[in-house]
Chain A
Amino acid sequence: MRGVLGAFRELDAAVEAIEALKEKRIGAIRVFTPTPRHELEEAIEAPPSPVRRFTLIGGLLGCTFGYWIAIWASDYWPLVVGGKPIASWVPYTIFGFEVMVLIGGLSTVAGLLINARVPRLTMMVGYDPRFSHGDYGVWVECPPEQVRAAEEILTQAGATEVRRER
């Protein structure tokens, strides 16, 4: 992977660099930011996160399992309590709900880990510790013939440091 990294002190400079790179259609852009900002999201124009699908599927499966385990166990060991049905849906809604939250929540976390590609034990190319403190980083992965143009755009936008990495 070959590309150019630009480090920015100011948010608007990073946004300007991303917009210019997109306009010139140079490489694939990745942004490092110490905190999420809507300005960067809008400049990148990323699609909606698919984590919601993990949440929905996990929640539905959990709810089903919660009802099922209560009904199955009651049927397996039938014991009439208070003259009510063996499988009584009113109290079993508690299990449906609790297991829905449990499995839905854990599926959400699984969705985050899978989509964000974590855990990762080695740092990716272009990452710099300062991006978790206060600076913004714009990493452009591009072919050798576009490296020069990318460097110029990043410098013009106000990058405090521009360097090639591979």
Chain B
Amino acid sequence: MATVAKPLPPRDEPRRPNIATAAVQLPAVRDFEQVDREIIRTLRPGLGWFIGLGVAVLALLLGISAWMYQIYSGLGVAGYNPPVMWGVYIITFVFWIGIGHAGTLISAILYLFRAGFRTTIYRCAEAMTVFAVMTAALFPILHLGRPWKFFWLIPYPNWRYIWPQFKSPLVWDVFAILTYFTISSTFLYIGLIPDIAVLRDRENISPIRKRIFTVLSLGWRNTDNEWRHFARAYLFLAAFSTPLVLSVHSVVSFDFAMALTPGWHTTIFPPYFVAGAIFSGMGMVFTIIIPLRKWFGLKHYVTINHLDAAAKLCLFTSLVVGCAYMSEWFVAWFSGNEAEQSFFANRIWGQWWWASSILYTCNMVLPLSLFVQRLRRSAAWLFIISFTINIGMWFERFVIVVPSLSHEFEPWQWTSYRPTWVDYSILIGSFGWFTMWFMLFIKQLPVIAIAEVKEIIPPKLRKQHEHGVDPAGRHFEFEPDTPGEYA
């Protein structure tokens, strides 16, 4: 966590290049007071926020209504068509679990790699992870015929003397997701404690809010002793989260790869799922962070250099995912397995050509535009691309789940699948559930980590630096290459 105040280069040295690096800076942020003032300012709710929250709640109510109808009528009202007994719910479960992965990548893995550009975007990404896992965890329950029995998957002493089958990937999922949710939310909360202390200590705060923040901050006092243990605990939590992010989606991929179904039974699935998860999560990070930085006036915190660096990561994961798609095709051809070849032909040129086309266009072709620096540095283009990535990654899971089940070994098993209004309503409801939590979060707690931003702002010094730099130690400014943006 801790940083050292390094002397900045003198004014006559060449200015830093106008490109994104791992160590991006914040030249337009002058001091700690400005950080507190500008980030705390974002907590005041406006009309737009109430409208957004209202829309999210309406979408959620639609999903709840559809679920109630499904519980009353039975799973038959969803679009299941035997043997396609996994549909929108499992697709959306994998989609939301995947969304969460970029949050952990940004907050934990990039923290271990000391990638500075994570500092101003990781809080949003971490919150996104927690809410995405909360959303994903609903779907296996929605998919159950008797959802009130979901806790039977958890091993606990019971009067039936029955224990879960520990060789089943579904039980692996329960452990993986519960661990992921617990560690992600703990990581988010621990990082929030010093920031909640800032909220607690500000002036003109209502007594009720002050009391709530006092309890939530656990009486944090910013002592050297607290920071020393905090930094160590944060490092270890990041170290635990790093293999966890790789394991969770690997375990989710085992739900498929352990079956003998064509298209599923392949050893490439764990890395393929992990890369896809990070890619989809990066898309969602852009979808969230780009409007937020505009609405909250935080363009000088999440600068165009931050977006550029994150876009490079997004491009890299897109290339990995594209490589995995091509490996799948190659393995199907090279294996000489007729069922596998027939399935892939049906997936790409047959019945599901339209879904595959959406997937390949959105995940492989369009992200290639991020090779162009000008497009990487355009917030508008990144926002558009983020939408196509979200769509493409949902269809990736559709193409994994449905074509395999609808085109198994025997021709008499071949069938089709069409989601019903119940599936669509619950899908929309899941977005409402996620958005509702996120909207509530952004007005109660800071969307940018106050304490960590202060670490990258050069501290006030009484003495001159050796190179004769201004004691205020501001980062150098330069002309941004994108009008209206900070770099």
Q: Which residues of A contact B (CB under 8 A)?
A: 9-13, 30-41, 44, 46, 48-49, 51-52, 55, 66, 69-70, 73-74, 76-77, 79, 81-82, 84, 88, 91-92, 94-95, 97-99, 101-102, 104-106, 108-109, 111-113, 115-124, 127, 129-134, 158
Decide if B222 touches A108 in the complex (CB within 8 Å).
no
For B186, list chain A residues within 8 Å (CB).
105-106, 109
Pick out which of these stretches binds chain A: B16-24, B236-244, B335-343, B377-385. B236-244
Closest to B239 in A: A55
B390 to chain A, nearest CB (A): 28
For A88, list chain B residues within 8 Å (CB).
167
- For the side of the interface on B, what is the size category? 35 or more
Known contacts A11-B461, A101-B183, A121-B214; A51/B229 CB under 8 A: yes
Known: A32-B221, A38-B3. 19 other contacts (CB 8 A): A10-B460, A10-B461, A12-B462, A36-B228, A37-B4, A37-B455, A49-B228, A74-B167, A77-B161, A92-B166, A97-B247, A99-B175, A105-B187, A112-B229, A118-B219, A119-B218, A130-B201, A132-B197, A132-B198
A151 to chain B, nearest CB (A): 19
Decide if A10 touches B462 in the complex (CB within 8 Å).
yes
Contacts of B193-224 to chain A: CB distance below 8 A: 194, 197-198, 200-202, 214-215, 218-224
For B197, list chain A residues within 8 Å (CB).
132
A54 to chain B, nearest CB (A): 9
B459 on the interface (CB 8 Å rule)?
yes
Closest to B169 in A: A91
Decide if A91 touches B167 in the complex (CB within 8 Å).
yes
For A70, list chain B residues within 8 Å (CB).
166
Closest to A70 in B: B166
Decide if A109 touches B233 in the complex (CB within 8 Å).
yes
Alpha-carbon gap, A109 to B155, bound state (A): 25
Known contacts A11-B461, A118-B218; A98/B179 CB under 8 A: yes
Count: A-B pairs, CB below 8 Å: 209
Decide if B222 touches A40 in the complex (CB within 8 Å).
no
Cross-interface CB contact of B5 among A37, A120, A123, cutoff 8 Å: A37
For A66, list chain B residues within 8 Å (CB).
175
Closest to B462 in A: A10
For B183, list chain A residues within 8 Å (CB).
101-102, 105
Decide if A73 touches B32 in the complex (CB within 8 Å).
no
Cross-interface CB contact of B236 among A10, A30, A33, A55, cutoff 8 Å: A55
B201 to chain A, nearest CB (A): 4
For A123, list chain B residues within 8 Å (CB).
219, 221
Taking chain B's interface residues, is the majority helix, strand, or loop, or is none over half, making it mixed? helix
B36 on the interface (CB 8 Å rule)?
yes
For B166, list chain A residues within 8 Å (CB).
70, 73-74, 91-92, 95
Decide if B219 touches A119 in the complex (CB within 8 Å).
yes
For A34, list chain B residues within 8 Å (CB).
32, 198, 222, 451, 454
Interface centre among A11, A44, A81 (most CB of B within 10 A): A11
Interface centre among B225, B227, B251, B463 (most CB of A within 10 A): B227
Decide if A36 touches B455 in the complex (CB within 8 Å).
yes
For B176, list chain A residues within 8 Å (CB).
94, 98
Decide if A116 touches B225 in the complex (CB within 8 Å).
yes
Closest to B458 in A: A11
Decide if B461 touches A132 in the complex (CB within 8 Å).
no
A-B contact pairs, 19 of them (CB 8 A): A10-B459, A35-B194, A39-B4, A40-B224, A49-B229, A52-B236, A55-B240, A69-B155, A94-B175, A95-B172, A99-B175, A105-B237, A111-B233, A118-B218, A119-B219, A121-B219, A123-B221, A127-B222, A132-B200
Decide if B2 touches A108 in the complex (CB within 8 Å).
no
Decide if A109 touches B190 in the complex (CB within 8 Å).
yes
B162 on the interface (CB 8 Å rule)?
yes
A17 to chain B, nearest CB (A): 11
Decide if B459 touches A11 in the complex (CB within 8 Å).
yes
Decide if A99 touches B224 in the complex (CB within 8 Å).
no
3 closest A-B pairs by beta carbon, nearest first, are A120-B219, A129-B201, A134-B32
Known contacts A33-B222, A105-B182; A91/B454 CB under 8 A: no
Q: Can you list, as one digit per residue, whether each of B66-81 has a CB less than 8 Å from chain A (1) or not (0)?
A: 0000000000000000
Known contacts A32-B222, A74-B166, A76-B163; A9/B460 CB under 8 A: yes
B440 on the interface (CB 8 Å rule)?
no
Decide if B3 touches A37 in the complex (CB within 8 Å).
yes
Decide if A98 touches B228 in the complex (CB within 8 Å).
no
Closest to B460 in A: A10
Alpha-carbon gap, A62 to B461, bound state (A): 46
Known contacts A30-B224, A38-B2, A134-B31; A112/B165 CB under 8 A: no
Known contacts A12-B462, A36-B455, A132-B201; A118/B155 CB under 8 A: no
Alpha-carbon gap, A134 to B33, bound state (A): 6
B231 on the interface (CB 8 Å rule)?
yes
Closest to B220 in A: A118
Alpha-carbon gap, A130 to B33, bound state (A): 10
Decide if A36 touches B32 in the complex (CB within 8 Å).
no
Decide if A12 touches B463 in the complex (CB within 8 Å).
yes
Known contacts A74-B166, A95-B166; A133/B155 CB under 8 A: no
Interface centre among B4, B5, B218, B232 (most CB of A within 10 A): B232
For A113, list chain B residues within 8 Å (CB).
218
B230 on the interface (CB 8 Å rule)?
yes
For A51, list chain B residues within 8 Å (CB).
229, 232-233, 236
Decide if B225 touches A46 in the complex (CB within 8 Å).
yes
A36 to chain B, nearest CB (A): 4
Decide if A41 touches B2 in the complex (CB within 8 Å).
yes
Decide if B221 touches A91 in the complex (CB within 8 Å).
no
B144 on the interface (CB 8 Å rule)?
no
Decide if A39 touches B5 in the complex (CB within 8 Å).
yes
Alpha-carbon gap, A101 to B251, bound state (A): 15
Alpha-carbon gap, A3 to B454, bound state (A): 29
Known contacts A73-B166, A101-B240; A132/B194 CB under 8 A: yes
Q: Can you list, as one digit per residue, whether each of B435-475 has a CB less than 8 Å from chain A (1) or not (0)?
A: 00000000000000001101100011111000000010000
